[in-house]
Amino acid sequence: MSYAFKRRFDVKQNLRPLKNPNGFGTVYKLPGRRRRPWVARVTTGWKKAIAKKGKRAGKEVPRQIYHIVGCFGTKREALEALALYKANPAPPKSDITLAELYNDWSENKYKNISTDTVNNYKAAWKYIDKIGSARVADIKTSHWQSVVNNVVEQGLGKSSLQKIRSLAVMLSDHAMKDDIISKNYASLVDMPKFEKIERDRFSDLEVKEIEKQAAKGTLWADVILILIYTGFRISELLALTRFNIDLKDQIITGGMKTEAGKGREIPINPKILKHVKAWHDKSGDRLICKENGSRWTSDSFRRKCYWPAIEAIGIRKLVPHSCRHTFATMLAEAGVDPLYIKELLGHTQYAFTADNYTHPSRDKLRQAIDKI
């Protein structure tokens, strides 16, 4: 064998493609004219199936479970993709859709949060579900941005948009825990700018009118009055049970949202005592309940109780949170110490010394309430 011939033979032998090792995967070409005909595929497991033809027709036989790494323009690209995949395999949930991810996330999440928060997330999901059929691995910032833009076009407010974005970020974080994605694309969306809304309060004349209508028995006027003289948020008031009410010491214990706001004690103002007693004497899952004893959601209460009552009373249509602002303003105008206002509202921001070394007694809190 001549040297030149032997050299050509060696080069040819070196260029001959080697067989892939067992378990490495397969590259094959799809028929027809395609931009990316080369498929990279790996076996991820085995399943049992019934053979439909051949010598074992009708018998149980093993079948491979495949994962398609991707489709490529050339065989070299497919082999390179296969090699990269083997170096960093796709997680078991790599093909999961956003809707499937949401179901997986909510299954445990919803067990540990309040009903109102669950309802908020469910309402937010209705807007995100427009891309629910997409693979999570394929969803990028532009897809999340389209969700946000669609919500803005529908005229939803800042609060609703923030809840939608918050849910999107949490779902993306959940996907990152399983290495389905490596970056939280939902956190990179551009949010529109909203003008700061100055919260108004009910005037003294409006508060007196609410008191008058509550005394006359105008439906739900008494609950609006309770909101004004306790400073509770709607969700906090609706979460109260009769066990939160101490009629002997005339104290309501409740609150949520922040550590400072949880379990705070609110002395019952004499102006709402009879209304609190009336609700306390009813039987139901919550202090403020429906006629059949079941509980209200915050959204339903706003639509079916709060706004109709405001209409019937004939005062300005201020949002429910204005009751809380009215409470704080009345305390301030009555000259109540800022420490007590902070304690009654469940806020955290105050001087370090007050937060760590000063603890208002029930008597001091009662004196604060009785001043308004």
Residue 148 — φ and ψ, nearest 5°?
A: -60, -45
Mean pLDDT of the chain: 83
Compute the distance between CA of residue 186 and CA of residue 141 in angstroms, rounded to an integer: 6
Q: What is the pLDDT of residue 353?
A: 31
| Spatial contact of 119 and 297, defined as CB atoms under 8 Å apart | yes
By three-state DSSP, how is residue 245 classified?
strand
Q: How many CB atoms lie within 10 A of CB 188?
A: 14
| 2: its two tokens | 């001549």
In the chain, where are the structural domains located?
Answer: 3-87, 98-188, 204-370
Query: What is the four-CA torsion angle of 142, 143, 148, 149, rounded to 10 degrees?
Result: 70
Contact of 286 with 292, CB cutoff 8 Å? no
CATH of 204-370, one of 2.60.40.10, 3.40.50.2000, 1.10.443.10, 3.40.47.10: 1.10.443.10
Query: At residue 185, does pLDDT exceed 90?
Result: yes
Q: Looking at the predicted structure, is the pLDDT value of residue 99 above 80?
A: yes
Average of pLDDT values for 323-340?
86
Residues in the chain: 372
pLDDT at residue 198, as a whole number = 56
| CATH top-level class of 98-188 | mainly alpha
| Residue 19: per-residue pLDDT | 65
> pTM (2 decimals)?
0.54
Which has more confidence, 353 or 57? 57
Which of 309, 305, 323 lies closest to 213, judged by CA?
Answer: 309
Between CA 145 and CA 143 the distance in angstroms is 5
Contact status, residue 217 vs residue 277, Cβ threshold 8 Å: no
- Tell me whether the CATH fold assigned to 98-188 matches the one assigned to 204-370: no
- Do residues 258 and 346 touch, judged by C-beta distance below 8 A? yes
